[in-house]
């Protein structure tokens, strides 16, 4: 089932599902969609957003925008990488449809990144009100906004974008030239965008927004992913 921008609503049938690497994703039969890959939710996030995004960025001080906070997995993995690599990361996530806290907590994402040492900070991140910044250990700060990417008005603000919306089949309004135009304007020159989605329409929309698009090898179970650069 496909939804256009304002017609999309948070599904009410979200169920945690264990994936191939032991981490959890969420399944919705109503949407016919998983939040992350069944071949490994953590493996997908690490490959797309950490290895080919965060680790490919230039500089040790980064402003990160995530489109689609979801279960918080990308934010948590970014925090742990920030601590390990001695980075400074200001992380902003857009999420108009927050996952219910009891569903998110049942997934126990902190277990996949080293156990209880991350639990309190992750809980603080994910239970904070929108717009309230959390300053955590290792140079990582986080806040989320309950807003759609179609409302994004920032200019030259972000070094890195994690684009993790539902697939075009489910949310076609998230993969348009207008949306990527907004995202491109919010990116700093030389910044990059990474996403799991490598569809032709998505790549063309990014290119139309002035981004330089490249296809990379995908995570387990997926042939390709996309990285796009903002060039002068």
With tokens 């994690």, the residue in question is 162
Question: Is there a domain that residue 17 lies in?
Answer: no
What is the average pLDDT value for the chain, to the nearest integer? 92
Among candidate residues 15, 9, 8, the one with its CA nearest the CA of residue 29: 15
Question: Is there a domain that residue 24 lies in?
Answer: no
Question: Is there a domain that residue 15 lies in?
Answer: no
Question: Is there a domain that residue 20 lies in?
Answer: no
Q: How many domains does the chain have?
A: 1
Question: Is there a domain that residue 210 lies in?
Answer: yes
59: left (phi over 0), alpha (psi -120 to 50) or beta: left
Identify the band that residue 8 occupies on the pLDDT scale cut at 50, 70 and 90. low
Question: Is there a domain that residue 137 lies in?
Answer: yes
CATH number of the domain that 56 lies in? 3.40.50.150
pLDDT of amino acid 90: 98
H/E element holding 104? Answer: helix 101-106
Phi, psi of 172 (to 5 degrees): -60, -30
Residue 56 sits in which domain range? 42-230
Question: Is there a domain that residue 51 lies in?
Answer: yes
Q: Say yes or no to pLDDT of 18 above 80.
A: yes
Q: Per-residue pLDDT tens for 19-72? A: 999 999 999 888 888 888 999 999 999 999 999 999 999 889 999 999 999 999
pLDDT of amino acid 217: 98
Question: Is there a domain that residue 70 lies in?
Answer: yes
């Amino acid at each position: 089932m496909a939804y256009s921008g304002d017609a999309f609503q948070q599904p009410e049938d979200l169920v945690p599902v264990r994936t191939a690497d032991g981490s959890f994703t969420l399944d919705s039969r109503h949407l016919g969609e998983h939040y992350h890959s069944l071949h490994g939710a953590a493996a997908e996030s690490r490959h797309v957003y950490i290895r080919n995004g965060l680790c490919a960025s230039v500089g040790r001080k980064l402003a990160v925008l995530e489109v689609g906070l979801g279960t918080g997995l990308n934010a948590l993995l970014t925090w742990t990488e920030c601590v390990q690599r001695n980075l400074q990361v200001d992380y902003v996530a857009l999420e108009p449809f927050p996952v219910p806290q009891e569903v998110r907590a049942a997934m126990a994402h902190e277990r996949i990144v080293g156990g209880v040492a991350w639990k309190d900070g992750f809980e603080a991140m994910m239970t904070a009100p929108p717009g309230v910044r959390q300053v955590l250990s290792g140079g990582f700060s986080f806040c989320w906004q309950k807003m759609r990417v179609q409302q994004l008005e920032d200019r030259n603000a972000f070094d890195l974008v994690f684009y993790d919306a539902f697939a075009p089949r489910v949310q076609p309004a998230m993969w348009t030239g207008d949306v990527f135009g907004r995202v491109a304007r919010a990116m700093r020159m030389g910044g990059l965008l990474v996403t799991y989605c490598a569809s032709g329409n998505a790549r063309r929309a990014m290119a139309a927004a002035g981004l330089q698009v490249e296809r990379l090898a995908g995570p387990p179970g997926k042939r390709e992913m996309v990285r796009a650069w903002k060039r002068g």
